[in-house]
Amino acid sequence: MLRPAARPGPRVVVFPHAGSGARRYREVPAGLPPYVEVVGVTLPGRERRAGCVPGTTLARAVAGIGAELRAPAAGRTVFYGHSLGALLALLTAHAGQARCDALVVSCALPGRRGFPRPDLLGTHAGLTAVLALHGLAADALEDTSLPDARRTLAHDLALAQDALLAVDGLRVGVPLTALAGADDPLVPLATLPQWADLTSGPFRSRQVEGGHFFPFTAAGAAVVTEELAASLRPSGPRAVPSLTP
C-alpha cells in the first residue's frame, strides 16, 4: 500500500519500471485527492519481497498480480504503469482477474514494433540486446558477482522481452492514455501513436518534457497526476489523440 484512502473509493494501481519497487512511486501520484487509494505492484527480489529470488515467468507474474488485486475497489480503478510496468499493467488488465477501468502508461514500447531489432526478440540475441540497452552484459542473469540491484534489473529485463512479445495483437476494452518523454533515449516518440492499436476504447497520447524518467520530476509527476485524475472520472479521459503537452 503506497497510500491508504481516507474513505473507500477509487483506486490507482502502480506498476513500476524494471529494477524498481513501488516505493519509489510514492510521490508521483501525491497530488491525487486523499480519497484515492494508491497501491503498488512488487515483483520478487525487492522491498516487501526482498527475500524472494528475483525472476519469474510472465504468466506467473500476471496471475500473481491479478490474484493480489482481485478484491474489488469501492470505486473506479486505474492502472498506471511505467516502462516495463506499462506492459505488465496492460497484460494484467487484459487477463481480467482484477478490475481495471482505464490505463495510463508512460515511456514504454507498444510491443515488438518499437524495438530496434524486433526480429531478435524471443532469442538469446534479443535478450542480449535488451540487456545491453541498460548497460548489462549478456551473462547478467547468471553472473552471481553482480550487485543484487543489478541482478534484479537483469531478471526484470528478461521479463520485459517476454512482455514485448506478449502484447503483440492484444487489445483491451478500456480507455488508454499513453505518455512519452520528449528526450527519451529508450522509447522513440514515433512509437507513441501505436499504443492506440492496443485498445478498442478511447485513446489519447501526450508528449511530456523530459527523458525516460520524467515522472520523477516535479513537472512530470504533475502531468501523470493530471492524467490519472482524468482517468478516474466516470467519463474518463478525453479521447483526443495529441502529441503536444
Q: What is the per-residue pLDDT across 174-188, written as a single tens digit (0 to 9) for each?
A: 999 999 999 999 999
Query: CATH number for the 11-112+165-232 domain, one of 3.40.630.30, 3.40.50.10470, 3.40.50.1820, 3.20.20.70?
Result: 3.40.50.1820
Tell me 45's DSSP state.
Answer: T
Is 106 one of the annotated active-site residues of the chain? no
Over range 61-82, report the average pLDDT.
91
Using 50, 70 and 90 to split pLDDT, how confident is the model at 75? confident
Fill in the amino acid letter for 111.
G
Q: Which residue in this structure is represented by grid cell 492496443?
A: 198
Using 50, 70 and 90 to split pLDDT, how confident is the model at 236? low
pLDDT for 239: 47
Domain edges within the chain = 11-112+165-232
Q: Does residue 65 surpass a pLDDT of 80?
A: yes
**Distances from the Cα of 187 to the Cαs of 83, 103, 191, in angstroms?**
9, 18, 7
Work out whether the CA dihedral 118, 121, 127, 130 comes out positive or negative.
Answer: positive
Q: Which residue in this structure is represented by grid cell 474489488?
A: 72
Using 50, 70 and 90 to split pLDDT, how confident is the model at 116? confident
pLDDT for 86: 98
CA distance 221 to 223: 5
Over range 97-123, report the average pLDDT.
93
Half-sphere exposure for 146 (CA within 13 Å, toward CB): 19
Helices 148-166 & 124-133, crossing angle to 10 degrees? 120
Q: Which residues pair with 178 in a beta bridge?
A: 105, 205
Q: Does residue 240 surpass a pLDDT of 90?
A: no
Average pLDDT, the chain: 92
Pick the closest to residue 28 from 188, 237, 210, 221 (CA basis): 221
pLDDT for 176: 98
pLDDT for 238: 55
Pick the closest to residue 84 from 219, 213, 190, 183 (CA basis): 213
Confidence (pTM): 0.93
CA distance 138 to 96: 35
pLDDT for 55: 86
Task: Enumerate residues 6+ apart whose C-beta is below 8 A from 236.
Answer: 101, 102, 175, 202, 230
Q: For residue range 126-137, list pLDDT tens digits in order.
A: 999 999 999 999
Q: Does residue 242 surpass a pLDDT of 70?
A: no
Strands 11-15 and 37-40: parallel
pLDDT for 245: 36
Residues 38 and 11: beta-carbon distance below 8 Å: yes
pLDDT for 89: 98
Q: Which residues pair with 81 in a beta bridge?
A: 15, 105
Q: Could you tell me where the DSSP H helices lie in 114-204?
A: 124-133, 148-166
Q: Does residue 237 surpass a pLDDT of 80?
A: no
Q: Which helix (H) or strand (E) holds 82?
A: strand 77-82
* Catalytically annotated residue among 20, 83, 106, 205: 83
